[in-house]
Amino acid sequence: APQSRPGPPRSAPSPRLLPHPAARGPRPAPRPAMLRLAPRCARRALAAPRRAKATSPVEPSSGLAPLEVNSSVIKAEYAVRGRLLAMAAEFQARLDAGDKSLPFADDGIVLCNIGNPQALRQPPITFFRQVLAGALNPSPELLASLPGDAAARAEEYLGSVRSMGAYTDTKGIVRVREQVAAFLGERDGATPPVDSIFLTGGASQAADQLMLTLLRNRHEGYLDGIMAPVPQYPL
């Protein structure tokens, strides 16, 4: 096979002349890491295949997709609200529509999934509602129509807060906590400090905050847990 003829020798590259550092002026400050990565991200975006433009308008999403929600929320099981309660809601809707074919059409449905005594026609304690009515609507006419002890308690609470619509202390109204401490002192024989009493919006919130306080952080290597009896109210 014929051999290729060697070409002419290549000339060596000429040296690149750079200005003296003093003539360049001050060096610019280094760019942040995020700015230095921007060109690389831009190259990736340019190299990615372009999607075809939609010919029809895109409908906005009506909610969150399952992948956009915390997986623990999706896997959670809430004992007091499940399939049985959903069936009870369907039966109640049929009863409200006048369906008499159900065997309990005359008696109705009694929900026993949670403790809700007033839903079972248990009369509420009148004193609590009278005090709330006087505190939320402290008009002279209303306070005059209330029993003396309820009106006095409402005025006592109104004197311990700036307004019933304002935020209170994070632990609760001080006057109410003082009354709780006095009650515990009479019942148990030892009065706890008022600052150690926290008022919560129900027993569930109190149990939840207590467990969060007792359980140490797993990221720190602790594997604490709480043993609860079954059945129990889910928290």
pLDDT tens readout for residues 159-207: 998 888 888 889 999 999 999 999 999 999 999 999 999 999 888 889 8
Residue-level length of the chain: 235
pLDDT at 17 over 50: yes
> pLDDT tens, 58-73?
555 678 888 888 988 8
pLDDT at 120: 81
Helices 174-188 and 148-160, packing angle to 10 deg: 120
Q: Report yes or no: 182 and 201 within 8 Å, Cβ to Cβ.
A: no
Instruction: From 141, 140, 142, 179, select the one nearest 157 (Cα to Cα).
Output: 179
Higher pLDDT, 54 or 186: 186
CA atoms of 96 and 75, how far apart (whole Å): 33
